[in-house]
A and B are shown apart, each in its own frame.
Chain A
């Protein structure tokens, strides 16, 4: 699986959009971008994934650049409960093995 690079930490004001970047410059054509988050003392939670088109669900939006070398997870109106570690991973979209979680970005939403 391709390696990802994320900033170690970010702050966001409550109610504002949180934009979390991820670099995956070595991504292969058949690899998807997945985002998870881990709130303190809980197991990671799946957020969203995509291949090349932008995706949106009830939790977030995922913007993938045209060259697919980077992506941004957008939480449109961050709340204090969105404070968590956010992981960006890339993997082939099958059950052909593990996903490698890096260090992620610690997002702190402040009042």
Chain B
């Protein structure tokens, strides 16, 4: 597609439920990044994919968070047993390997845990 697509755009879930957030990067972009942004805060790195591999998972806040990427394309971020502190905007970005043009971000998924 023309840009990075994220779905859903908004998600309200009950505490304790599992959620899946989807990111569809720009076609041909080999690198994919997940960030989250709590209200009024900066961007917090979660995980980075190069192809289907995740060389850097250092930002995942707990073992309730996991992510996968298949076919070098779509990525899914899963949060198990959601907590209220998980409420944030989850942003996905992609970039072409080696060009240094910069990331293209999606519009994000706003997750609210009630």
Contact = CB atoms under 8 A, between A and B. Distances in A.
Contacts, number: 56
A103 interface: yes
A102 B42 CA distance: 6
Contact of B33 (A32, A94, A98): A98
Contact of A94 (B91, B100, B108): B100
A94 B43 contact: no
- Interface range on chain B: under 10, 10 to 19, 20 to 34, or 35 or more? 20 to 34
Describe A's contact surface by its main secondary structure: loop
B93 A43 contact: yes
Given A103-B42, A104-B42, A95 B105 contact: no
Contacts of A95: 30-31, 50, 95, 97-98
Interface of A: 32, 34, 36, 42-46, 49, 87, 93-95, 97-104
Interface of B: 4, 30-31, 33, 35, 42-43, 45, 48, 50, 55-56, 59, 91, 93, 95, 97-98, 100-108
